[in-house]
């Protein structure tokens, strides 16, 4: 090959490898499923469209130029300009700020290496065997080559990754189940899992050496990763158990085999994949139904449907007369004060955590702590030391305005509680939200209802993003909210430019839900 051909092949190969970054991000977001590339077409098209437009535009221009003046100089100029423009687009995409950036885990790294190897082989072979076809069509096909190769590389690696994951999970399960003196606790629910888990660990730390799943890791691989921290001194393991579809909880229960379980609450979260609320209830109850006779389960009666039927070794907390409940509750910007009733005795308790729902999280965790032998006095001391979890009603005060960060995730119950917290603050109240997702057929209805609730609390509402904000706006207007106080922005970045003009000293701003990139 001529030097020009070698340079074009080399640079094109590098750009195609770099173009796979948003493709790999889409695959990772979709859990590496074979067809995950096609599950969020709007997001994928938005991220990849610049490459496609550039490629097709230059492919159309190339033959037009050759009609008037085809020469080596034209070819050099054309390909140089093409590669420069494409390089700028690729660099812009790689340096773009992302809410959930690609994480180069071992699996992602393996996939990226395989994609790179196949891309190199393809370009070198095509340039050597079909030079005329390759250089004529290189502009048009480069982005599509990146997508197709990424798809087939993921497909090629899937059998190996499935076997590797099963081996990794199996080893973690053996470690958890064969530990000589490990008490295992499972926590599931439509909301509050991470909060209850962190609160419970704080209470159990008074007596036990506790390991819990990191962050919101609640899948088999997430639990396996956290199980790596279990050592000979660990005597309690708390596993958060998430479920997006039927069968997920059984897989986690079979892995951990918990003796104790907590059901934090049930809503229509993930109704999109579960289809019915009855399916959600059945799935969550699998944890409690799997507990051995010598174990115990805790359910807060305030956060589950009234007609729910519990197994015999599972008890309610949260209601007056239960063995743990809260009364005389006072909430505000300072946090909460309440009386904790535990085993028939009453204790004054206080916490910096915001919102009455956090008191119910505390009650739920306290019920399990009592079952595991923690003294009520130690539980009350732990309550006072609790710290807010990042992005879950986290209060941030910069000296001028109060910021309530509730951006981790949102469901109808959590959103209502966040607005209740906002209403307890003085001064102007502002909500910034893109709405709620993954609520299936109820999504539009729930976002309309959220708009009605915001109308009763907020002075200004900033709506972020696309179609679901129409339902929020309709709910706001239906609740009598002034239309001039509803501001709409395509992205949070666009809204941020107006923050200095909108926010004043003494205001309180609630950031409610933060959609991942693929929903924005």
Instruction: Please determine, for residue 7, whether its predicted confidence score (pLDDT) is greater than 90.
Output: no
H/E segment holding residue 433: strand 429-433
Task: Answer yes or no: is 308 within a domain.
Answer: yes
Stretch 470-494: mean pLDDT: 91
Tell me which residue of 459, 449, 447 sits closest to 487, measured CA to CA: 459
Q: Is 14 exposed, middle or buried (0-12, 13-18, 19+ CB in 10 A)?
A: middle
Same domain assignment for residues 123 and 218: no
Same domain assignment for residues 65 and 209: no
Task: Answer yes or no: is 437 within a domain.
Answer: yes
Residue at a domain's end among 385, 403, 435: 385
Higher model confidence: residue 366 or residue 246?
A: 366
Task: Answer yes or no: is 172 within a domain.
Answer: no
Give the pLDDT confidence of 88-112 residue by residue, as tens digits: 888 888 887 766 677 888 889 999 9
Q: From CA 394, how far away is CA 241, in angstroms rounded?
A: 23
pLDDT at 518: 47
> In which band, very low, low, confident or very high, does the pLDDT at 1 lie, cut at 50, 70 and 90?
very low
Task: Answer yes or no: is 307 within a domain.
Answer: yes
| C-alpha pair distances (Å), 353 with each of 97, 368, 431, 505 | 31, 19, 20, 23
According to DSSP, the β-strands at 345-351 and 335-342 are: antiparallel
Stretch 36-63: mean pLDDT: 74
pLDDT at 273: 67
Q: For residue 276, what is the domain's CATH number?
A: 3.40.1190.10
In sequence order, the 6+-apart residues with CB closer than 8 A to the CB of 80 are: none
Higher model confidence: residue 484 or residue 441?
A: 484
Give the pLDDT confidence of 324-351 residue by residue, as tens digits: 999 999 988 888 999 999 988 999 999 9
> In which band, very low, low, confident or very high, does the pLDDT at 133 lie, cut at 50, 70 and 90?
low
Task: Answer yes or no: is 174 within a domain.
Answer: no
Same domain assignment for residues 374 and 405: no
Same domain assignment for residues 159 and 102: yes
Stretch 276-302: mean pLDDT: 90
> In which band, very low, low, confident or very high, does the pLDDT at 146 lie, cut at 50, 70 and 90?
confident
pLDDT at 134: 65
H/E segment holding residue 51: helix 41-68
Task: Answer yes or no: is 223 within a domain.
Answer: yes
Instruction: Please determine, for residue 44, whether its predicted confidence score (pLDDT) is greater than 80.
Output: no
According to DSSP, the β-strands at 335-342 and 324-332 are: antiparallel
Least confident of 90-94, 116-120, 169-173, 322-326: 90-94
Task: Answer yes or no: is 171 within a domain.
Answer: no
Task: Answer yes or no: is 173 within a domain.
Answer: no
pLDDT at 169: 92
pLDDT at 170: 94
Tell me the residue range of the domain where 9 lies: 3-163
Least confident of 80-84, 93-97, 147-151, 421-425: 93-97
Contact by Cβ (8 Å): 186, 256: yes
Most confident region among 1-15, 262-276, 282-296 by mean pLDDT: 282-296
Q: What is the DSSP string of 237-273?
A: EEEE---SSTTHHHHHHHHH--SEEEE----STTHHH
Same domain assignment for residues 283 and 424: no
Q: From CA 505, how far away is CA 507, in angstroms rounded?
A: 6
Higher model confidence: residue 292 or residue 273?
A: 292
Higher model confidence: residue 417 or residue 365?
A: 365
Backbone angles phi, psi at 287, to 5 degrees: -60, -50
Same domain assignment for residues 403 and 292: no
Q: For residue 415, what is the domain's CATH number?
A: 3.90.190.20
Overall size of the chain counted in residues: 520
Q: From CA 402, how far away is CA 279, in angstroms rounded?
A: 40
Stretch 193-217: mean pLDDT: 92
pLDDT at 226: 92
Backbone angles phi, psi at 230, to 5 degrees: -70, 130
Stretch 27-33: mean pLDDT: 81
Instruction: Please determine, for residue 45, whether its predicted confidence score (pLDDT) is greater than 70.
Output: no
Higher model confidence: residue 478 or residue 35?
A: 478
**Which alpha helices (H) appear in 398-467, and where do they start and end?**
412-423, 443-455
Instruction: Please determine, for residue 469, whether its predicted confidence score (pLDDT) is greater than 80.
Output: yes
| C-alpha pair distances (Å), 295 with each of 2, 290, 311 | 74, 10, 11
Higher model confidence: residue 396 or residue 234?
A: 234
Q: Is 307 exposed, middle or buried (0-12, 13-18, 19+ CB in 10 A)?
A: exposed
Same domain assignment for residues 120 and 221: no
Instruction: Please determine, for residue 23, whether its predicted confidence score (pLDDT) is greater than 80.
Output: yes
Instruction: Please determine, for residue 278, whether its predicted confidence score (pLDDT) is greater than 90.
Output: no
Instruction: Report percent pLDDT > 70 for the chain.
Output: 92
What residue ranges in 4-77 does DSSP mark as E strands?
none
3-state secondary structure of 385: helix
User: In the numeric block, which tokens belong to residue 137?
Assistant: 């069509």
| Torsion angle (degrees, nearest 10) of CA 174, 175, 179, 182 | -100
Contact by Cβ (8 Å): 203, 382: yes
Residue at a domain's end among 138, 163, 188: 163
Q: From CA 181, how far away is CA 346, in angstroms rounded?
A: 33
Same domain assignment for residues 301 and 326: yes
pLDDT at 519: 46
Tell me which residue of 317, 318, 244, 254 sits closest to 286, measured CA to CA: 254
Same domain assignment for residues 366 and 443: no
Q: From CA 136, how far away is CA 134, in angstroms rounded?
A: 6
In sequence order, the 6+-apart residues with CB closer than 8 A to the CB of 234 are: 179, 182, 209, 210, 211
Most confident region among 160-169, 188-197, 362-371 by mean pLDDT: 362-371
Helix axes 41-68, 3-29, angle to 10 degrees: 160
Instruction: Please determine, for residue 87, whether its predicted confidence score (pLDDT) is greater than 50.
Output: yes
Stretch 183-203: mean pLDDT: 93
Q: From CA 406, how far away is CA 337, in angstroms rounded?
A: 21
Q: From CA 31, how far away is CA 317, in angstroms rounded?
A: 36
Stretch 200-221: mean pLDDT: 91
Give the pLDDT confidence of 309-321 residue by residue, as tens digits: 888 899 999 998 8
Same domain assignment for residues 83 and 192: no
Higher model confidence: residue 363 or residue 302?
A: 363
Stretch 224-250: mean pLDDT: 91
pLDDT at 275: 76
Residue at a domain's end among 120, 139, 163: 163
Edge to edge, what strands does the sheet with 183-188 contain? 210-212, 236-240, 183-188, 260-263, 296-300, 314-317
Instruction: Please determine, for residue 478, whether its predicted confidence score (pLDDT) is greater than 60.
Output: yes
pLDDT at 221: 87
> Residue 73: how many CB atoms within 10 A of its CB?
9
Contact by Cβ (8 Å): 157, 114: yes
Stretch 123-148: mean pLDDT: 76
Same domain assignment for residues 27 and 153: yes
Least confident of 51-55, 158-162, 456-460: 51-55
The mean pLDDT of the chain is 86
pLDDT at 42: 63
Same domain assignment for residues 222 and 367: yes
> In which band, very low, low, confident or very high, does the pLDDT at 163 lie, cut at 50, 70 and 90?
very high
Instruction: Please determine, for residue 227, whether its predicted confidence score (pLDDT) is greater than 90.
Output: yes
- What would you report as the CA-atom Rg of the chain, rounded to the nearest whole angstrom? 27
Query: How many structural domains does the chain have?
Result: 3
Stretch 155-181: mean pLDDT: 92
């Amino acid at each position: 090959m001529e030097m020009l051909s070698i340079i074009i092949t080399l640079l094109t190969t590098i750009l195609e490898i770099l173009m796979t970054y948003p493709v790999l991000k889409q695959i990772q977001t979709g859990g590496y499923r074979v067809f995950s590339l096609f599950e969020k077409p709007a997001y994928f098209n938005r991220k990849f469209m610049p490459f496609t437009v550039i490629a097709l535009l230059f492919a159309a221009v190339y033959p037009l130029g050759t009609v008037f003046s085809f020469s080596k100089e034209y070819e050099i100029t054309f390909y140089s300009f093409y590669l420069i423009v494409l390089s700028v687009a690729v660099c812009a995409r790689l340096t773009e700020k992302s809410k959930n950036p690609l994480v180069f885990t071992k699996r992602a790294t393996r996939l990226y290496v395989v994609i790179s190897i196949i891309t190199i082989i393809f370009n070198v072979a095509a340039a050597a065997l079909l030079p005329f076809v390759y250089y004529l069509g290189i502009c048009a096909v480069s982005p599509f080559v990146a997508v197709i190769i990424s798809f087939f590389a993921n497909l090629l690696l899937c059998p190996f990754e499935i076997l590797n994951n099963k081996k990794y999970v199996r080893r973690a399960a053996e470690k958890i189940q064969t530990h000589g003196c490990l008490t295992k606790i499972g926590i599931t629910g439509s909301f509050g899992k991470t909060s209850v888990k962190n609160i419970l660990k704080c209470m159990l730390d008074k007596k036990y050496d506790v390991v819990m799943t990191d962050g919101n890791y609640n899948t088999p691989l997430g639990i396996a990763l956290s199980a790596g921290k279990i050592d000979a001194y660990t005597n309690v393991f708390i596993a958060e158990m998430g479920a997006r579809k039927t069968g997920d909880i059984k897989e986690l229960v079979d892995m951990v085999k918990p003796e104790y379980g907590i059901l934090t609450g049930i809503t229509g979260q993930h109704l999109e994949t579960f289809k019915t609320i009855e399916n959600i209830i059945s799935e969550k109850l699998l944890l409690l139904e799997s507990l051995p006779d010598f174990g115990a389960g805790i359910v807060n009666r305030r956060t589950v449907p009234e007609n729910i039927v519990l197994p015999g070794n599972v008890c309610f907390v949260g209601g007056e007369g239960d063995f743990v409940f809260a009364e005389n509750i006072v909430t505000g910007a300072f946090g909460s004060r309440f009386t904790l009733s535990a085993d028939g005795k009453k204790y004054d308790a206080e916490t910096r955590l915001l919102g009455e729902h956090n008191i119910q999280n505390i009650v739920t965790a306290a019920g399990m702590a009592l079952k595991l032998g923690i003294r009520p006095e130690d539980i009350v001391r732990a309550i006072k030391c609790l710290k807010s979890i990042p992005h879950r009603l986290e209060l941030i005060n910069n000296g001028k305005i109060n910021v309530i960060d509730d951006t981790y995730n949102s469901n109808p119950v959590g959103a209502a509680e966040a607005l209740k917290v906002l209403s307890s603050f003085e001064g102007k109240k502002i909500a910034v939200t893109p709405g709620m997702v993954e609520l299936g057929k109820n999504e539009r209805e729930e976002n309309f209802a959220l708009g009605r609730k915001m109308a009763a609390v907020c002075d200004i509402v900033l709506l972020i993003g696309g179609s679901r904000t129409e339902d929020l706006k309709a709910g706001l207007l239906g609740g009598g909210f002034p239309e001039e106080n509803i501001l709409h922005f395509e992205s949070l970045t666009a809204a941020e430019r107006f923050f200095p003009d909108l926010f004043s000293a003494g205001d309180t701003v609630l950031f409610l839900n933060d959609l991942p990139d693929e929903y924005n």
